[in-house]
Protein backbone atom coordinates (compact mmCIF):
# COMPACT_ATOMS: atom_id res chain seq x y z
CA UNK A 1 0.00 0.00 0.00
CA UNK A 2 1.17 3.51 -0.81
CA UNK A 3 1.19 5.74 2.25
CA UNK A 4 0.18 8.71 0.08
CA UNK A 5 -3.17 6.94 -0.42
CA UNK A 6 -3.77 6.20 3.24
CA UNK A 7 -6.41 8.66 4.42
CA UNK A 8 -5.22 8.54 8.03
CA UNK A 9 -2.44 10.84 9.20
CA UNK A 10 -0.24 10.56 12.24
CA UNK A 11 -0.73 13.08 15.04
CA UNK A 12 1.75 14.63 17.44
CA UNK A 13 -0.82 14.76 20.23
CA UNK A 14 -3.47 12.36 21.45
CA UNK A 15 -6.81 13.73 22.73
CA UNK A 16 -6.36 15.24 26.21
CA UNK A 17 -9.07 13.09 27.75
CA UNK A 18 -7.36 9.90 26.61
CA UNK A 19 -5.10 8.70 29.40
CA UNK A 20 -4.24 5.14 28.46
CA UNK A 21 -0.99 4.43 26.67
CA UNK A 22 -2.47 1.93 24.21
CA UNK A 23 -5.21 4.28 22.97
CA UNK A 24 -2.91 7.32 22.90
CA UNK A 25 -0.41 5.54 20.67
CA UNK A 26 -3.06 3.91 18.48
CA UNK A 27 -4.85 7.23 17.95
CA UNK A 28 -1.64 9.13 17.24
CA UNK A 29 -0.50 6.49 14.75
CA UNK A 30 -3.88 6.46 13.00
CA UNK A 31 -5.00 2.93 13.94
CA UNK A 32 -8.12 3.88 15.86
CA UNK A 33 -10.49 6.79 16.28
CA UNK A 34 -12.08 7.58 19.61
CA UNK A 35 -15.82 8.02 19.37
CA UNK A 36 -16.41 8.36 23.12
CA UNK A 37 -14.94 6.84 26.27
CA UNK A 38 -14.77 3.07 25.73
CA UNK A 39 -15.99 3.29 22.14
CA UNK A 40 -13.47 3.20 19.28
CA UNK A 41 -13.56 2.96 15.50
CA UNK A 42 -10.92 0.87 13.73
CA UNK A 43 -9.19 2.57 10.80
CA UNK A 44 -7.37 0.79 7.93
CA UNK A 45 -4.14 0.03 9.83
CA UNK A 46 -6.04 -0.91 12.99
CA UNK A 47 -8.37 -3.20 11.10
CA UNK A 48 -5.40 -4.96 9.51
CA UNK A 49 -4.04 -5.78 12.97
CA UNK A 50 -7.48 -6.94 14.15
CA UNK A 51 -7.80 -9.20 11.12
CA UNK A 52 -4.37 -10.72 11.74
CA UNK A 53 -5.22 -11.46 15.37
CA UNK A 54 -8.58 -12.91 14.31
CA UNK A 55 -6.92 -15.15 11.74
CA UNK A 56 -4.51 -16.61 14.32
CA UNK A 57 -7.40 -17.21 16.72
CA UNK A 58 -9.54 -18.68 13.93
CA UNK A 59 -6.81 -21.12 12.90
CA UNK A 60 -6.39 -22.40 16.45
CA UNK A 61 -10.14 -22.65 17.06
CA UNK A 62 -10.46 -24.68 13.87
CA UNK A 63 -7.68 -27.00 15.05
CA UNK A 64 -9.70 -27.96 18.14
CA UNK A 65 -12.76 -28.54 15.98
CA UNK A 66 -14.60 -25.22 16.22
CA UNK A 67 -17.11 -24.18 13.55
CA UNK A 68 -17.44 -20.45 12.92
CA UNK A 69 -20.84 -18.77 13.12
CA UNK A 70 -22.18 -15.24 13.62
CA UNK A 71 -25.00 -14.72 16.07
CA UNK A 72 -27.17 -11.60 16.26
CA UNK A 73 -26.31 -8.71 18.57
CA UNK A 74 -29.99 -8.16 19.46
CA UNK A 75 -31.17 -10.66 22.04
CA UNK A 76 -34.46 -11.84 23.56
CA UNK A 77 -35.26 -10.97 27.14
CA UNK A 78 -37.12 -14.28 27.87
CA UNK A 79 -33.99 -16.38 27.38
CA UNK A 80 -32.00 -14.37 29.88
CA UNK A 81 -34.89 -14.44 32.33
CA UNK A 82 -34.84 -18.24 32.22
CA UNK A 83 -31.24 -18.22 33.48
CA UNK A 84 -31.75 -15.29 35.84
CA UNK A 85 -29.30 -13.05 33.99
CA UNK A 86 -31.71 -10.37 32.68
CA UNK A 87 -32.05 -8.44 35.92
CA UNK A 88 -29.60 -5.53 36.25
CA UNK A 89 -28.87 -6.55 39.82
CA UNK A 90 -27.43 -9.84 38.50
CA UNK A 91 -25.77 -8.50 35.34
CA UNK A 92 -24.80 -4.87 35.66
CA UNK A 93 -23.48 -4.24 32.12
CA UNK A 94 -26.64 -4.61 30.02
CA UNK A 95 -27.54 -2.17 27.29
CA UNK A 96 -31.27 -2.62 26.86
CA UNK A 97 -33.75 -1.17 24.42
CA UNK A 98 -37.39 -1.48 23.39
CA UNK A 99 -38.90 -2.31 20.02
CA UNK A 100 -41.69 -0.10 18.58
CA UNK A 101 -44.23 -2.68 19.75
CA UNK A 102 -42.99 -2.46 23.32
CA UNK A 103 -40.93 -5.67 23.37
CA UNK A 104 -37.81 -5.33 25.48
CA UNK A 105 -34.53 -6.52 23.95
CA UNK A 106 -30.89 -6.54 25.04
CA UNK A 107 -27.65 -5.95 23.15
CA UNK A 108 -25.43 -9.01 23.53
CA UNK A 109 -22.80 -8.73 26.25
CA UNK A 110 -22.32 -12.53 25.97
CA UNK A 111 -24.04 -15.29 23.99
CA UNK A 112 -24.47 -18.47 26.07
CA UNK A 113 -28.25 -18.12 26.25
CA UNK A 114 -29.11 -17.47 22.57
CA UNK A 115 -26.58 -20.01 21.23
CA UNK A 116 -27.73 -22.70 23.65
CA UNK A 117 -31.36 -22.02 22.78
CA UNK A 118 -30.55 -22.13 19.06
CA UNK A 119 -28.78 -25.48 19.45
CA UNK A 120 -32.06 -27.10 20.51
CA UNK A 121 -32.92 -27.02 16.80
CA UNK A 122 -29.96 -29.19 15.90
CA UNK A 123 -29.42 -31.61 18.77
CA UNK A 124 -31.68 -34.45 19.78
CA UNK A 125 -29.48 -37.49 20.37
CA UNK A 126 -25.99 -38.22 21.70
CA UNK A 127 -24.98 -38.82 18.07
CA UNK A 128 -25.36 -35.07 17.42
CA UNK A 129 -22.74 -34.23 20.04
CA UNK A 130 -20.16 -32.88 20.66
CA UNK A 131 -20.55 -29.49 18.96
CA UNK A 132 -18.05 -26.65 19.20
CA UNK A 133 -19.03 -23.28 17.76
CA UNK A 134 -17.33 -19.91 17.86
CA UNK A 135 -17.77 -16.41 16.55
CA UNK A 136 -16.09 -13.02 16.45
CA UNK A 137 -18.56 -10.47 17.59
CA UNK A 138 -18.96 -6.99 18.90
CA UNK A 139 -20.11 -7.19 22.49
CA UNK A 140 -21.87 -4.35 24.24
CA UNK A 141 -21.22 -3.75 27.93
CA UNK A 142 -22.19 -0.71 29.90
CA UNK A 143 -18.93 -0.73 31.86
CA UNK A 144 -18.80 1.62 34.83
CA UNK A 145 -15.27 2.77 34.06
CA UNK A 146 -13.61 2.84 30.66
CA UNK A 147 -10.17 4.26 31.34
CA UNK A 148 -7.98 1.56 29.84
CA UNK A 149 -8.33 2.57 26.20
CA UNK A 150 -9.22 -0.34 23.94
CA UNK A 151 -8.51 -2.75 26.80
CA UNK A 152 -11.91 -2.02 28.34
CA UNK A 153 -14.49 -1.04 25.78
CA UNK A 154 -18.19 -0.43 26.11
CA UNK A 155 -18.29 -1.90 22.64
CA UNK A 156 -15.51 -4.39 21.88
CA UNK A 157 -14.62 -7.40 19.79
CA UNK A 158 -14.62 -10.80 21.43
CA UNK A 159 -14.02 -14.31 20.17
CA UNK A 160 -16.44 -16.50 22.04
CA UNK A 161 -16.64 -20.25 21.69
CA UNK A 162 -19.18 -22.65 23.18
CA UNK A 163 -18.85 -26.39 23.67
CA UNK A 164 -21.78 -28.78 23.87
CA UNK A 165 -20.83 -32.23 25.08
CA UNK A 166 -22.54 -35.33 26.41
CA UNK A 167 -20.85 -35.43 29.80
CA UNK A 168 -18.09 -34.16 32.02
CA UNK A 169 -15.44 -36.49 30.56
CA UNK A 170 -16.09 -35.33 26.99
CA UNK A 171 -16.25 -31.76 28.21
CA UNK A 172 -12.95 -32.03 30.09
CA UNK A 173 -11.12 -33.34 27.05
CA UNK A 174 -12.21 -30.36 25.00
CA UNK A 175 -11.63 -27.90 27.85
CA UNK A 176 -8.03 -29.12 28.16
CA UNK A 177 -7.41 -28.90 24.42
CA UNK A 178 -8.74 -25.34 24.49
CA UNK A 179 -6.26 -24.38 27.21
CA UNK A 180 -3.47 -25.56 24.90
CA UNK A 181 -5.00 -23.75 21.91
CA UNK A 182 -5.23 -20.53 23.92
CA UNK A 183 -1.62 -20.77 25.06
CA UNK A 184 -0.60 -21.28 21.43
CA UNK A 185 -2.56 -18.18 20.39
CA UNK A 186 -0.85 -16.05 23.04
CA UNK A 187 2.53 -17.40 21.95
CA UNK A 188 1.78 -16.65 18.30
CA UNK A 189 0.88 -13.02 19.02
CA UNK A 190 4.11 -12.55 20.99
CA UNK A 191 2.78 -12.78 24.55
CA UNK A 192 3.88 -16.35 25.33
CA UNK A 193 6.38 -15.46 28.04
CA UNK A 194 4.03 -13.03 29.77
CA UNK A 195 0.80 -15.01 29.83
CA UNK A 196 -0.26 -17.34 32.65
CA UNK A 197 -3.21 -19.65 33.17
CA UNK A 198 -4.81 -19.06 36.55
CA UNK A 199 -7.56 -20.79 38.39
CA UNK A 200 -10.40 -18.43 39.20
CA UNK A 201 -13.65 -18.54 41.05
CA UNK A 202 -16.42 -18.86 38.52
CA UNK A 203 -18.87 -16.58 40.26
CA UNK A 204 -22.52 -17.38 40.87
CA UNK A 205 -23.25 -18.83 37.44
CA UNK A 206 -20.45 -21.28 36.83
CA UNK A 207 -18.77 -24.10 38.63
CA UNK A 208 -15.21 -23.03 38.01
CA UNK A 209 -13.13 -21.18 35.47
CA UNK A 210 -9.63 -20.47 34.28
CA UNK A 211 -8.27 -17.11 33.26
CA UNK A 212 -5.43 -16.22 30.94
CA UNK A 213 -3.60 -13.32 32.51
CA UNK A 214 -0.89 -11.31 30.74
CA UNK A 215 1.59 -9.23 32.70
CA UNK A 216 0.75 -5.58 32.03
CA UNK A 217 0.98 -2.41 34.08
CA UNK A 218 -2.20 -1.27 32.39
CA UNK A 219 -4.08 -4.35 33.56
CA UNK A 220 -6.73 -4.27 36.26
CA UNK A 221 -5.96 -7.65 37.85
CA UNK A 222 -3.19 -9.04 40.05
CA UNK A 223 -1.72 -12.50 40.17
CA UNK A 224 1.04 -14.24 42.12
CA UNK A 225 3.56 -16.10 40.04
CA UNK A 226 6.45 -18.51 40.39
CA UNK A 227 8.14 -18.57 36.99
CA UNK A 228 10.37 -21.62 37.48
CA UNK A 229 7.60 -23.77 38.93
CA UNK A 230 5.16 -22.34 36.38
CA UNK A 231 2.65 -21.48 39.09
CA UNK A 232 0.20 -18.61 38.79
CA UNK A 233 -2.51 -17.81 41.31
CA UNK A 234 -5.24 -15.27 40.96
CA UNK A 235 -5.18 -12.77 43.80
CA UNK A 236 -8.96 -13.18 44.15
CA UNK A 237 -8.68 -16.86 45.09
CA UNK A 238 -5.40 -16.75 47.03
CA UNK A 239 -5.63 -18.58 50.36
CA UNK A 240 -3.52 -20.80 52.65
CA UNK A 241 -5.30 -23.86 51.25
CA UNK A 242 -4.44 -22.92 47.67
CA UNK A 243 -0.80 -22.38 48.64
CA UNK A 244 -0.67 -25.72 50.45
CA UNK A 245 -2.25 -27.51 47.47
CA UNK A 246 0.39 -26.10 45.15
CA UNK A 247 3.21 -26.70 47.62
CA UNK A 248 4.52 -23.12 47.73
CA UNK A 249 4.78 -20.43 50.34
CA UNK A 250 3.70 -16.85 49.75
CA UNK A 251 7.33 -15.65 50.07
CA UNK A 252 8.32 -17.63 47.00
CA UNK A 253 5.74 -15.83 44.86
CA UNK A 254 5.90 -12.46 43.14
CA UNK A 255 2.83 -10.29 42.72
CA UNK A 256 2.40 -8.79 39.23
CA UNK A 257 -0.23 -6.62 37.59
CA UNK A 258 -2.02 -8.37 34.75
CA UNK A 259 -4.74 -8.01 32.17
CA UNK A 260 -7.22 -10.83 31.59
CA UNK A 261 -6.92 -11.65 27.89
CA UNK A 262 -8.99 -14.82 27.95
CA UNK A 263 -11.38 -16.72 30.14
CA UNK A 264 -12.82 -20.23 30.01
CA UNK A 265 -15.84 -21.43 31.97
CA UNK A 266 -17.38 -24.74 32.84
CA UNK A 267 -21.13 -24.24 33.10
CA UNK A 268 -21.80 -27.91 33.65
CA UNK A 269 -25.46 -28.69 33.09
CA UNK A 270 -26.78 -25.62 34.92
CA UNK A 271 -27.61 -23.55 31.88
CA UNK A 272 -28.98 -26.38 29.73
CA UNK A 273 -31.25 -27.35 32.60
CA UNK A 274 -32.49 -23.77 32.90
CA UNK A 275 -33.02 -23.50 29.15
CA UNK A 276 -34.30 -27.06 28.82
CA UNK A 277 -31.65 -28.18 26.34
CA UNK A 278 -31.56 -31.99 26.57
CA UNK A 279 -30.45 -34.90 24.43
CA UNK A 280 -31.30 -38.60 24.45
CA UNK A 281 -28.43 -40.80 25.60
CA UNK A 282 -27.64 -44.36 24.54
CA UNK A 283 -29.92 -45.73 27.24
CA UNK A 284 -32.78 -43.64 25.85
CA UNK A 285 -32.84 -41.18 28.76
CA UNK A 286 -33.25 -37.41 28.40
CA UNK A 287 -30.17 -35.68 29.83
CA UNK A 288 -29.13 -32.01 29.96
CA UNK A 289 -26.23 -31.10 27.65
CA UNK A 290 -22.86 -30.15 29.19
CA UNK A 291 -21.81 -26.56 28.40
CA UNK A 292 -18.46 -24.76 28.31
CA UNK A 293 -17.78 -21.17 27.29
CA UNK A 294 -14.44 -19.78 26.07
CA UNK A 295 -13.69 -16.07 25.49
CA UNK A 296 -10.79 -14.06 24.16
CA UNK A 297 -10.92 -10.27 24.11
CA UNK A 298 -9.62 -9.53 20.62
CA UNK A 299 -9.46 -5.76 20.99
CA UNK A 300 -8.19 -6.07 24.56
CA UNK A 301 -5.43 -8.32 23.27
CA UNK A 302 -4.46 -5.68 20.72
CA UNK A 303 -4.30 -3.10 23.52
CA UNK A 304 -2.16 -5.36 25.73
CA UNK A 305 0.22 -5.95 22.80
CA UNK A 306 0.61 -2.20 22.26
CA UNK A 307 1.29 -1.67 25.97
CA UNK A 308 3.87 -4.45 25.93
CA UNK A 309 5.58 -3.68 22.62
CA UNK A 310 6.13 0.06 22.53
CA UNK A 311 8.70 2.66 23.52
CA UNK A 312 8.79 6.45 23.78
CA UNK A 313 8.75 6.71 19.97
CA UNK A 314 5.76 4.52 19.29
CA UNK A 315 4.54 0.99 18.70
CA UNK A 316 6.72 -2.06 17.90
CA UNK A 317 4.38 -4.68 16.43
CA UNK A 318 5.37 -8.35 16.62
CA UNK A 319 5.67 -9.54 13.03
CA UNK A 320 2.80 -12.03 13.32
CA UNK A 321 0.20 -9.30 13.75
CA UNK A 322 1.90 -6.21 12.26
CA UNK A 323 -0.23 -4.38 9.68
CA UNK A 324 2.70 -4.72 7.25
CA UNK A 325 6.03 -6.52 7.50
CA UNK A 326 8.12 -3.87 5.77
CA UNK A 327 7.97 -0.08 5.81
CA UNK A 328 9.68 1.10 2.65
CA UNK A 329 10.57 4.72 3.29
CA UNK A 330 11.60 6.77 0.28
CA UNK A 331 13.54 9.98 0.74
CA UNK A 332 13.88 10.46 -3.00
CA UNK A 333 12.89 13.65 -4.75
CA UNK A 334 14.23 13.52 -8.29
CA UNK A 335 12.42 11.57 -10.97
CA UNK A 336 15.16 8.98 -11.63
CA UNK A 337 15.47 8.12 -7.95
CA UNK A 338 11.70 8.00 -7.45
CA UNK A 339 11.46 5.54 -10.32
CA UNK A 340 14.09 3.35 -8.66
CA UNK A 341 12.20 3.45 -5.36
CA UNK A 342 8.95 2.63 -7.19
CA UNK A 343 10.75 -0.33 -8.74
CA UNK A 344 11.82 -1.68 -5.39
CA UNK A 345 8.23 -1.33 -4.17
CA UNK A 346 6.90 -3.14 -7.22
CA UNK A 347 9.39 -5.95 -6.76
CA UNK A 348 8.26 -6.37 -3.16
CA UNK A 349 4.62 -6.53 -4.25
CA UNK A 350 5.54 -9.13 -6.87
CA UNK A 351 7.22 -11.22 -4.19
CA UNK A 352 4.13 -10.99 -2.01
CA UNK A 353 5.78 -8.87 0.68
CA UNK A 354 3.34 -6.99 2.91
CA UNK A 355 4.78 -3.52 2.44
CA UNK A 356 3.72 0.01 3.29
CA UNK A 357 5.48 2.39 0.90
CA UNK A 358 6.10 5.86 2.22
CA UNK A 359 6.10 7.52 -1.19
CA UNK A 360 4.83 10.81 0.11
CA UNK A 361 7.43 13.45 -0.78
CA UNK A 362 7.08 13.18 -4.56
CA UNK A 363 3.30 13.01 -4.87
CA UNK A 364 2.70 15.37 -2.03
CA UNK A 365 4.68 18.13 -3.75
CA UNK A 366 2.13 18.03 -6.49
CA UNK A 367 -0.98 17.42 -4.45
CA UNK A 368 -0.55 19.30 -1.21
CA UNK A 369 1.80 22.25 -1.07
CA UNK A 370 1.71 22.41 2.69
CA UNK A 371 3.21 18.94 2.94
CA UNK A 372 5.77 19.42 0.20
CA UNK A 373 8.75 19.29 2.47
CA UNK A 374 8.20 16.28 4.63
CA UNK A 375 11.64 15.97 6.18
CA UNK A 376 13.38 12.63 6.60
CA UNK A 377 13.13 13.12 10.37
CA UNK A 378 9.36 13.41 10.15
CA UNK A 379 9.10 10.31 8.00
CA UNK A 380 11.23 8.34 10.44
CA UNK A 381 9.18 9.62 13.37
CA UNK A 382 6.01 8.47 11.60
CA UNK A 383 7.59 5.13 10.87
CA UNK A 384 8.65 4.69 14.52
CA UNK A 385 5.16 5.61 15.67
CA UNK A 386 3.38 3.20 13.30
CA UNK A 387 5.77 0.44 14.34
CA UNK A 388 6.19 -1.85 11.32
CA UNK A 389 8.95 -4.38 12.25
CA UNK A 390 11.37 -3.78 9.36
CA UNK A 391 12.26 -0.43 7.78
CA UNK A 392 13.94 -0.16 4.40
CA UNK A 393 15.18 3.31 3.51
CA UNK A 394 15.83 4.30 -0.06
CA UNK A 395 17.42 7.72 -0.59
CA UNK A 396 19.66 9.51 -3.10
CA UNK A 397 22.54 8.65 -0.77
CA UNK A 398 21.79 4.90 -0.69
CA UNK A 399 20.99 4.77 -4.41
CA UNK A 400 24.34 6.36 -5.23
CA UNK A 401 25.78 3.11 -3.86
CA UNK A 402 23.09 0.91 -5.46
CA UNK A 403 21.89 0.15 -1.97
CA UNK A 404 19.20 0.60 0.64
CA UNK A 405 19.43 0.89 4.41
CA UNK A 406 17.73 -1.69 6.57
CA UNK A 407 16.76 -1.10 10.17
CA UNK A 408 14.59 -3.13 12.52
CA UNK A 409 12.05 -1.18 14.59
CA UNK A 410 13.26 -2.82 17.80
CA UNK A 411 16.98 -2.33 17.14
CA UNK A 412 19.45 0.48 16.54
CA UNK A 413 21.62 -1.15 13.95
CA UNK A 414 21.42 0.24 10.40
CA UNK A 415 22.68 -2.07 7.69
CA UNK A 416 23.59 -1.12 4.11
CA UNK A 417 22.31 -3.74 1.68
CA UNK A 418 22.91 -3.69 -2.07
CA UNK A 419 19.84 -3.72 -4.30
CA UNK A 420 20.87 -7.14 -5.57
CA UNK A 421 20.97 -8.53 -2.06
CA UNK A 422 17.73 -7.17 -0.63
CA UNK A 423 16.04 -10.03 1.12
CA UNK A 424 12.44 -9.86 0.03
CA UNK A 425 11.13 -11.40 3.23
P1 LIG B 1 -13.18 -8.31 33.20
O2 LIG B 1 -12.99 -9.00 34.51
O3 LIG B 1 -11.93 -7.71 32.66
O4 LIG B 1 -14.35 -7.37 33.19
P5 LIG B 1 -14.84 -10.44 32.27
O6 LIG B 1 -14.61 -11.48 33.30
O7 LIG B 1 -16.07 -9.60 32.37
O8 LIG B 1 -13.55 -9.48 32.17
P9 LIG B 1 -15.61 -12.26 30.13
O10 LIG B 1 -17.05 -11.96 30.29
O11 LIG B 1 -15.13 -13.58 30.53
O12 LIG B 1 -14.75 -11.11 30.83
O13 LIG B 1 -15.18 -11.97 28.62
C14 LIG B 1 -14.21 -12.73 27.92
C15 LIG B 1 -13.01 -11.87 27.56
O16 LIG B 1 -13.40 -10.66 26.90
C17 LIG B 1 -12.20 -11.40 28.74
O18 LIG B 1 -11.28 -12.38 29.13
C19 LIG B 1 -11.52 -10.16 28.20
O20 LIG B 1 -10.35 -10.52 27.48
C21 LIG B 1 -12.53 -9.61 27.22
N22 LIG B 1 -13.29 -8.47 27.79
C23 LIG B 1 -14.19 -8.49 28.81
N24 LIG B 1 -14.70 -7.28 29.02
C25 LIG B 1 -14.12 -6.46 28.11
C26 LIG B 1 -14.25 -5.08 27.80
N27 LIG B 1 -15.11 -4.29 28.47
N28 LIG B 1 -13.48 -4.56 26.80
C29 LIG B 1 -12.65 -5.35 26.10
N30 LIG B 1 -12.49 -6.66 26.34
C31 LIG B 1 -13.21 -7.22 27.33
MG1 LIG C 1 -16.38 -7.73 33.14
Atom 18, ligand 1: residue with shortest CA distance: 262
* Cross-strand partners of 244: none
Last residue of a domain, one of 298, 315, 332: 315
Sign of CA dihedral 25, 11, 52, 310: negative
Distance from the CA of 93 to the center of ligand 2, in angstroms?
Answer: 8
Q: CB within 8 A of 360, min separation 6: which ones?
A: 3, 4, 371, 374, 379
State the Cα–Cα distance between residues 169 and 290, nearest whole angstrom: 10
* Residues 310, 166 share a domain: yes
CA of 298 to the centre of ligand 1 (A): 10
Which ligand is nearest to the Cα of residue 138, counting in written order?
1
pLDDT tier, 361 (very low <50, low <70, confident <90, very high otherwise) = low
Residue-level pLDDT at 208: 73
| Residue 281 shares a structural domain with residue 162 | yes
Pick the atom of ligand 1 nearest to 212's CA.
Answer: 18
Q: Which of 285, 315, 345 corresponds to the end of one domain?
A: 315
Protein residue closest via CA to atom 1 of ligand 1: 260
Residue 300: what pLDDT? 98
Same domain, 21 and 69: yes
- Pick from 111, 170, 131, 122: which is nearest to 295 by CA? 111
Q: 304 and 378 in one domain? A: no
Using CA positions, which residue lies closest to atom 16 of ligand 1? 297
Claim to verify: residue 266 and residue 363 sit in the same structural domain: no
More confident residue, 235 or 187: 187
Residue nearest to atom 31 of ligand 1 (CA): 297
pLDDT at 175: 96
Q: How far, in Å, from the CA of 211 to the mean position of ligand 2?
A: 12
Among 40, 137, 158, 303, which residue has the most ligand 1 atoms within 8 Å of its CB, making it the best to mutate?
Answer: 158
* Predicted local distance difference test score (pLDDT) of residue 373: 52
pLDDT computed for residue 180 by the predictor: 98
364 confidence band (pLDDT: 50, 70, 90): very low
Shared domain check, 258 and 354:
no
Ligand nearest to the CA of 38: 1
pLDDT value, residue 75: 98
Domain shared by 311 and 352, yes or no: no
Q: How confident is the model at residue 265 (pLDDT cuts 50, 70, 90)?
A: very high
At 343, which CATH number? 3.40.50.800
Pairing label, strands 104-107, 95-98: antiparallel
Counting from 1 in the atom list of ligand 1, the atom nearest the Cα of 295 is 14
Average the pLDDT over 84-98 and give the result.
97
Average pLDDT, whole number, for the chain? 93
Could you tell me the strand order of the sheet in which 326-330 lies? 355-358, 326-330, 390-394, 403-408, 414-418
Boundary of a domain, candidates 281, 315, 349: 315
pLDDT for 230 equals: 86
Q: Which residues line ligand 1 (CB under 6 A)?
A: 110, 141, 143, 152-153, 156, 158, 260-263, 295, 297, 299-300
Which whole-number Å values give the CA distances from 223 to 208, 246, 258, 265, 354, in the listed order?
Answer: 17, 15, 7, 19, 38
Q: Where are the beta strands (DSSP E) in 332-419?
A: 355-358, 390-394, 403-408, 414-418
Q: Whose CA is closest to atom 11 on ligand 1?
A: 263
Give the Cα separation of 390 and 295 in Å (integer): 32
| Mean pLDDT, rounded, for 173-178 | 97
Question: In sequence order, what are the beta bridge partners of 351?
Answer: none
- Among the bound ligands, name the one nearest to the CA of residue 211: 1
**pLDDT(100) > 90:** yes
233 alpha carbon – ligand 1 mean position (Å): 18
Ligand 2 centroid to Cα of residue 329, in Å, is 42
Mutate to test the pocket of ligand 1, among 143, 214, 260, 301 (most ligand atoms within 8 A of CB): 260
Closest CA to ligand 1's atom 25: 152
The reply to whether 224 and 371 lie within a common domain is no
Each residue's pLDDT tens digit, 209-221: 899 999 999 999 9
- Residues 161 and 245 placed together within one structural domain of the fold: yes
Pair (92, 199) in one structural domain: yes
Pair 294, 138: CB distance under 8 Å: no
Q: Supply the residue whose CA is at minimum distance from atom 2 of ligand 1.
A: 260
Taking the CA of residue 209 as reference, the ligand 1 atom at the shortest distance is 11
Rounded to the nearest 10°, the torsion over CA 307, 312, 315, 316 is -100
Domain housing 257 = 3-315
Burial of 145 (0-12, 13-18, 19+ CB in 10 A): exposed
User: What is the total count of domains within the chain?
Assistant: 2
pLDDT digits (tens, 9 = 90+) for 373-396: 568 889 999 999 999 999 999 999
Q: Which of 202, 234, 300 to mutate to test the pocket of ligand 1 (most atoms within 8 A of CB)?
A: 300
Closest C-alpha residue for ligand 1 atom 22? 297
Among candidate residues 25, 16, 21, the one with its CA nearest the CA of residue 46: 25
pTM confidence score: 0.95
Whether the pLDDT of residue 425 is over 90: the answer is: no
- 224/332 same-domain check: no
Give the closest ligand to the alpha carbon of residue 201. 1
Q: What is the CATH number of the domain that holds 177?
A: 3.30.930.10
Q: Are residues 252 and 282 in the same domain?
A: yes
| CA-closest residue to ligand 1 atom 6 | 263
> Residue 91 C-alpha to ligand 2 middle, in angstroms?
10
- Ligand 1 pocket: which of 92, 267, 297, 302 to mutate (most atoms <8 Å of CB)? 297
Residues 129 and 163 sit within 8 Å (Cβ to Cβ): no
Cα 77 to averaged position of ligand 2 atoms, centre (Å): 20
Amino acid sequence: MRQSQLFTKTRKEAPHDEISKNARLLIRAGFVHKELAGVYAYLPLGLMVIEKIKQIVREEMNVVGGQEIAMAAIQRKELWEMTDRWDDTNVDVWFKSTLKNGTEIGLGWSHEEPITDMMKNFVSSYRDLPIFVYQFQTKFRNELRAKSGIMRGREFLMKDMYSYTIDEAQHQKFYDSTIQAYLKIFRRVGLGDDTFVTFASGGAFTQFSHEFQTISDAGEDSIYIHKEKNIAINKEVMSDTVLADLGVTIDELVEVKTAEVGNIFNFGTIKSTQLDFKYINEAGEKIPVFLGSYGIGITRLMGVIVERFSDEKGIMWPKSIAPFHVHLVSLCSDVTDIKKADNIYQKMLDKGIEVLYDDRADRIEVLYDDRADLRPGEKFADSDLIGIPKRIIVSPKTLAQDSVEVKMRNGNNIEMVTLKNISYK
